Amino acid sequence: MKVGLIGLGIMGKPMGKNLVKKGYDLMVFDLNKAAVAELVECGAKAAENTRELAENCDVILTMLPNSPHVKSVMLEGENAVANYVKEGTVFIDMSSINPVASREISDALAKKGVVMLDAPVSGGEPKAVDGTLAFMVGGPEDVFEAHKELLGAMGSSVVRCGEIGAGNVTKLCNQVVVAINIAAVSEAMMLGQLSGVEPEKIFEAIKGGLAGSTVMNAKAPMMMDQNFKPGFRIDLHIKDLTNVVDAAKVVDAPLPLTSQVMEMMKILHRDGDGACDHSALMKYYQKLTGEELHH
């Protein structure tokens, strides 16, 4: 099986490295030549362009920022993958995009004899590096089963959620839970500190109870350290929540909490913190209180 990967950003690069480590014959393409060179050093092959990758791979993976980027690479322009892809190729989009776009891309590729899975991930850069991402997958069950092992080379959880688009619907639900959870942790930690209780003691006391969560375990220490180096940037979470709002409009789903957290993130973006990790929601509370969270 020859695998092609387009997109070697914060997530795509370590995911590609894990594929090479697991012995996959990998060809990569990205506009960032330094990232491509890094993968080549690990054992991957470099494609000159998306045409070369499309012509030489049995499975094509993408890890790109948003819906327009995936559409552009796959469907638009002279070097669009769809122009050169072989019939019978499987396309797996690991990007987090609007589920409507996933279905549109799938329909267009089906005319070329290409079947698609949408397989967004959760876990951020740390889990991309150690290969323990959670994959949420939509698409035909037989195609999913045939490629579950491939995705498992990059993640510890690979779950089919339904037909095409279901993966991205699930990812949007995931991003709602994560965003609101981070905001709740920020709010609670600041309340505790202002009330005279050390945030670290609060964290130690509640993490083993009902309030405990993977989100809190990952983000509370970052908040206390004032370490907002991005594992998942505020700007990317705004992008995901924008897709949440768009998807919710279609089915008339209420989003009062999500909408509020999204506004908080937008304020941070305007303050110049869009490139920070989403744990920087704590900065919103620090701005309101004039106090910095500490250990």
Distance CA 135, CA 142 (A): 17
Residue 171: active-site member: yes
Is-contact 245 256, C-beta < 8 A? no
Number of Cβ within a 10 Å radius of residue 185: 26
**Set 127, 171, 219, 283: catalytic member:** 171
- For the chain, what percentages of helix, strand and coil (3-state, to nearest 5) are there? 55, 15, 30
Distance CA 199, CA 220 (A): 9
Angle, CA 27 vertex, CA 82 and CA 120 arms, to 5°: 65
| Phi and psi torsions of 196, nearest 5° | 95, 10
Q: What single-letter DSSP state applies at residue 209?
A: S
Tokens at residue 78, please?
A: 């002279």
CA 275 to chain centre: 15
Distance CA 53, CA 109 (A): 16
User: Which residues form the catalytic set?
Assistant: 171
